[in-house]
Amino acid sequence: MIDRLKKGIEVNRSVGLRAGNVINLPDSGKAIITGDLHGHRRNFERVISFADLQSNPQTFVIFQEILHGGPADEQGGCLSFELFVDVVSYQLQFPDQVFLMMGNHDTAIIADNDVMKAGKEMNSALKAAMKRYLNDDYEAVTQAMKDYLLSQPIAVRCSNRIWISHSLPADRFVDTFDMTVFDKELAAADTLRLEPLYLLTWGRRQSARTLEKFAGRLDVDAFIVGHQPQDKGWQFVEPNMIILASEHNHGCMITFDLGRRYTVEELVDCIVPLASIT
């Protein structure tokens, strides 16, 4: 596990499509974007099947939030770390095509802060399961995991003016948000409350004004995000944001061609229910 995580860190830092903390996808090929996976192995397998990267070298897959959720051990410990390492292994198979993007649960793990999901404090549940599974290797694996999470990109920019990040800053921060976070070398302190990275990954319920303002600041037309739970797998937020969730049986992903422009309404038509993939 440590070896795979360290190799993943090297890939995250050296991949050619990365500039600063942003992955810049080319103007040809296909993108596949998931919402939060949170330990849902079957949906991960469906994404792999759909992408078929071995046969499609110009397809790019973006994951977010693998950790926290999914199967639990007999004591209620969170086993999502097992899927997390498998997703990193998938990335190592296709280092120029598979990207894991930072989310708020990742920042909570790095900062060792409490984070609730479905009424359960997930960091404690994750640490408990990892201690039981890893024994003496727990500290080393935990540090490798945190180092990997911090090495992730924090956004993806598509040449057809689509922006993907885990979330966007809340309304009160949109005018003052420090855009240098997309270029600077990230440190653990950047995951702390009210730092730009924290604001980017934790923001919720953005207004139409915020979405329009931030689209202007980033020079994009549409946003695809996760973070906010969606019972039916997705939601369109006026005027330009699609929220995805991939963590349950109604979970969805979105796929689109990188070589053409889309209206937000056309992007909605590109949403794929994961249960439809065999």
pLDDT at 249 over 90: yes
Q: Any residues with CB less than 8 A from the CB of 8 and at least 6 apart, and which?
A: 88, 91, 92, 148, 151
User: Taking Cα atoms as reference points, which of 90, 244, 223 lies closest to residue 155?
Assistant: 223
Give residue 38's pLDDT.
98
State the pLDDT at residue 33: 98
Mean pLDDT of 59-82: 97
Is the confidence at residue 192, as pLDDT, over 90?
yes
Give the CATH fold of the 2-276 domain.
Purple Acid Phosphatase; chain A, domain 2 (3.60.21)
Give the Cα separation of 131 and 138 in Å (integer): 6
Residue 157's identity, in one-letter code, is R
Confidence of residue 278 (pLDDT cuts 50, 70, 90): confident
Average pLDDT over residues 34-63: 98
Model confidence at 259, pLDDT cuts 50, 70, 90, reads: very high
Work out the percent of the chain whose per-residue pLDDT is above 70.
100
Range 22-29 average pLDDT: 98
What one-character DSSP code corresponds to residue 159? Answer: T
Helix (H, G, I), strand (E, B) or coil at 187: coil
- Per the prediction, the chain carries an average pLDDT of 97
Mean pLDDT confidence for 157-182: 97
Report CA Rg, the chain.
17
Neighbours of 69 (CB within 10 A): 25
CA-based nearest residue to 171, from 142, 199, 148: 199
Task: Please give, one letter per residue, the 3-state secondary structure of 35-69.
Answer: EECCCCHHHHHHHHHHHCCCCCCCEEEEEECCCCC
How many other CB atoms are there within 10 angstroms of residue 26's CB atom? 13
Averaged pLDDT, 161-171: 98
Q: Is the pLDDT of residue 275 over 90?
A: yes
Sketch the domain layout of the chain as residue ranges.
2-276
Confidence of residue 179 (pLDDT cuts 50, 70, 90): very high
Give the integer Cα–Cα distance in Å for 116 and 122: 6
Q: Which amino acid is at 193?
A: R
pLDDT of residue 118: 86
Q: What is the mean pLDDT of residues 88-105?
A: 98
Report the run of H or E that residue 83 belongs to, with start and end: helix 80-93
Asked whether residue 273 carries a pLDDT value surpassing 90, the answer given is: yes
Q: What would the pLDDT profile of 139-150 be if each residue is shown by its tens digit?
A: 999 999 999 999
